[in-house]
Amino acid sequence: MTVPTTTPPPRAASSESPPPGGGGRRRMWAPYAFIAPFYVLYVLFMIVPILVACGLSLTEWVGLGTPKFVGLRNFLDLARDTSFHTALANSTLYVLVSVFVVVPCALLLAQALHTKGLRARDLFRVTFFVPMVLSPIVIALVYSLLLDTQYGLVNSVLKALFGGGGVDWIGDPDWAKSTVAVVVLWRWVGYLTIFFLAALQAVPKDLYEAAELDGAGAIRSFFTVTLPSIQPVTAFVVVTSFIGAAQLFDEPYLITNGGPGEATLSVAMFVYRAAFQRQQFGYAAAAGLVLFVVVFAVSQLLNRLLAIGRAE
């Protein structure tokens, strides 16, 4: 699931009015009543599951029978499980691709769409967003047919143009990783672009004029004006992409099934596989918690790091 997140530090940026007089008692509980529904759901569907995951992670359980308390053994096993290492490495790769390929591509695309006097800007913007609107299963289906090694359209075109046997998009470990990465790029880039585009449109024109007067070229004004001005949005997009990529499931599950072997296995897939294909619920819960700790820590760190730059 792709929950967009956003970077401003975890504090309520608000214009709250000083508590206007009147209302008194009534006003005391009102805010709590307004936020209560969220926190009830939040406790039920977030806090409780996390606590249950903690309990479960200390047990061994196939789903039926009695969970057996095993202490920290699941975590020790994870530390030695080559498969989990592979999943961590792959997820790290997805994160790196998202942050260092997808995000820059989105920025470039936004910059292009921001060109003054561009016609059909809305058409481009909307079209690039469409993959985000489609079901991952639809995307997976279309791509696995297009990329079939023997008969897929992409290889047919490549063979017609360059000869040779085409590329084994899904069967070769390295290509399979690239395939997943490309589909992620295809699916996410348009979505991230709209944030950059909105940010670019919000940069005050006089900043550019000043830079131009300074004699700054396009490239330099990009680095001295554009980047600093859109930094908050960049931070937002980076954190969004990080969290989205760290929990990537749909693409590797649907397109490559984690394969060949485990070449595209992600951590989220590892959790799913352990619980629902291998009946190791305790082990799955432990792996989930490891993912949680890592993602949570890194995103808090990113929030701090990126937001600091913004405050100054």
Partner 1 sequence: MAAQVPKFSRYRRPSGAPPPPQGPLSRRALLRAGAGLGAAAALTPGLAACAGGQNADPRASGDVELAFWTHDEAYADFFEVSAEIAERASDFRYRLRLSRAGAEDLVTKAIAQAIAGRGTPDVAGFEIGAFPRLLRGVLAEELLTDLSGDLGDAADDLLPSRTAPFSRDGRLYALDSDAPLVVYYYRESEFERLGIPTDLATWEELAEAGTRAHERHGVSLGAVPVGSEAGVNTQGFEMLLLQRGGRFFDEDGALAIESPEAEEVLGFLAEGLRTGFLSSVAGLLHPPMQAALKSGAVLGQWMATWYRIYGLEPNVPEQAGQWRIRPLPAFRSGGVRTSFTGGTGFGVTRGKENTLAGVELVKAAYLTPSEQVRRFRDLGYLPTRRSVYEDPELLAIPDEFCGGQPTFEVYRDLIDEAPSIHLSADKSTLDTVLSGYLLQAYHGDISPREALARTAEDFRGQTRNSRD
Partner 2 sequence: MSTRAVTRKTREPRRRAGRGGMSRSGKVALYSTLTVLLLIFVAPLVWAISSSFKPRGDIFEYPPKLIPSPATLDNYRTLLDTQPFWNWFAISVVTALLATTVAVFVCALAGYGFAKFRFAGKRVLFGVMFSSLSVPFAVILVPLFILVVKSGLSNPWFALIVPWVAPAFGIFMMQQYIVQSIPDEIIEAARIDGSSEFGTFWRVVLPLLRPSLGALAVWQFLQSYNAFMWPLVLLSDVNQYTIPLGLNILFRAENRSYDLVMAGAVLASVPTILVFLLLRKQLLEGLSAGAVKG
User: Could you give the CA distance from residue 269 to residue 272 in angstroms, rounded to a whole number?
Assistant: 5
Among positions 6-35, residues that touch partner 2 (CB under 8 A) are: 6-8, 10-20, 22-23, 26-28, 30-35
For residue 214, what is the enclosing H or E element? none
Among positions 257-286, residues that touch partner 2 (CB under 8 A) are: 267-268, 271-272, 275-276, 281, 284-285
216 binds, among partner 1, partner 2, none (CB under 5 to 8 A by kind): partner 2
Instruction: Verify binding: residue 262, partner 1, rule CB under 8 A.
Output: yes
- Closest CB 298 distance from partner 1, rounded Å: 24
User: Could you give the CA distance from residue 188 to residue 107 in angstroms, rounded to a whole number?
Assistant: 12
Instruction: Verify binding: residue 161, partner 2, rule CB under 8 A.
Output: no
The candidate with the shortest Cα–Cα distance to 226, out of 198, 256, 199, 195, is 199
Please check whether residue 128 is in contact with residue 119, taking contact to mean a CB–CB distance below 8 angstroms: no
β-partners of residue 60 are 68
Q: What single letter denotes the amino acid at residue 176?
A: A
Instruction: Verify binding: residue 172, partner 1, rule CB under 8 A.
Output: yes
- Closest CB 5 distance from partner 2, rounded Å: 4
User: Could you give the CA distance from residue 117 to residue 260 in angstroms, rounded to a whole number?
Assistant: 47
Mark the segment that binds partner 1 (CB under 8 A) among 13-21, 34-42, 77-85, 182-190: 77-85
143 binds, among partner 1, partner 2, none (CB under 5 to 8 A by kind): partner 2
User: Could you give the CA distance from residue 129 to residue 195 in angstroms, rounded to a whole number?
Assistant: 11
Instruction: Verify binding: residue 178, partner 1, rule CB under 8 A.
Output: no
Q: Tokens standing for 250?
A: 């749909």
Among positions 85-124, residues that touch partner 1 (CB under 8 A) are: none
